[in-house]
Amino acid sequence: MEFVTLNNGVEMPIEGFGVFQIEPEETEKCVLDAIVVGYRHIDTAATYGNERGVGTAIKKSGIDRKDLFITSKLWVEDQGYESTLKAFEKTLERLGTDYLDLYLIHQPFGDYYGSYRAMEALYKQGKIKAIGVSNFDSARLVDLIMNNEIVPQINQIELHPFLQQKEAIKVMKEYGVQVESWGPLAEAKHGILEEKELQDIAKKHKKTVAQVILRWHLDNGIVIIPKSVNKDRMIENLDIHDFNLDSADMRIIEAFDESQNKIVDHTDINIVIGMNKSKTPE
């Protein structure tokens, strides 16, 4: 497994296993399968409703906690200093752990300044190894950095060949924030796996299109958290550490950039309203 070193010196596996949209009753088995095939980085969130399943799988796996990198996220309804402290303790209880490797503000809505300051306090107490944000555009990210003590270690954003986030990545590099991609395969939608040029690259490397896309992220230094409920697909997604794309491959993939969100548009007022009204499952 390859690692990235965050701006506070913490090492993070560059590939993790995401559990977004995995049903709570399926989560334990899926996470156990992921750990068995080699994943050591698991990404969940309070709003997914499956933190308990992740925690049970971790316990049953027999893997030492220090050898796992566990991420969870704070939902919008829990934004604010005191609310964040309470929500964090609930997340620890559901996961069955006494610390997190990474805790993220899930969405840039509500009192995320209060939340971030609570996370800074938890970080200083050693309850979180790294803190960060998710879905923050460059302006919000820089404003947060300029008005707080600790520079976020991570910004987890929608990123894939159709949305390459080049300008956002430049800003994150300038401030030392590691970029992490959710939806690295664009949810296997929009015809991404059927693109002829990507299929040609895959044939050249004797890999699948999905493996080529995931490798493209890694070759750009981007952390990824692909999701699957299929064990064979989990193995396929992890089998990307034995090859690299060449400059010609990279130029071809670069041309796919449409610079448009394909999954969630955080400038859509209806999205903002919906997320502010959404409640975290118990």
Mind telling me the catalytic residues? 48
Can you tell me the distance from the alpha carbon of 66 to that of 79, in angstroms, rounded to the nearest whole number? 28
Residues 6+ apart with CB under 8 A from 276: 76, 77, 109, 110
Cα 4 to the center of its chain, rounded Å: 14
Cα 51 to the center of its chain, rounded Å: 15
Q: Are strands 11-13 and 3-5 parallel, antiparallel or unpaired?
A: antiparallel
Number of H helices, E strands in the chain: 11, 10
**Dihedral sign of CA atoms 217, 223, 229, 232 in order:** positive
Q: Which of 204, 123, 154 has the alpha carbon at shortest distance from 14? A: 154
Amino acid letter, residue 132: G
The half-sphere exposure of 95 on its side-chain side, counting CA atoms within 13 A, is 26
Return the structure tokens found at 80.
């604010």
Residues 6+ apart with CB under 8 A from 110: 76, 77, 79, 80, 276
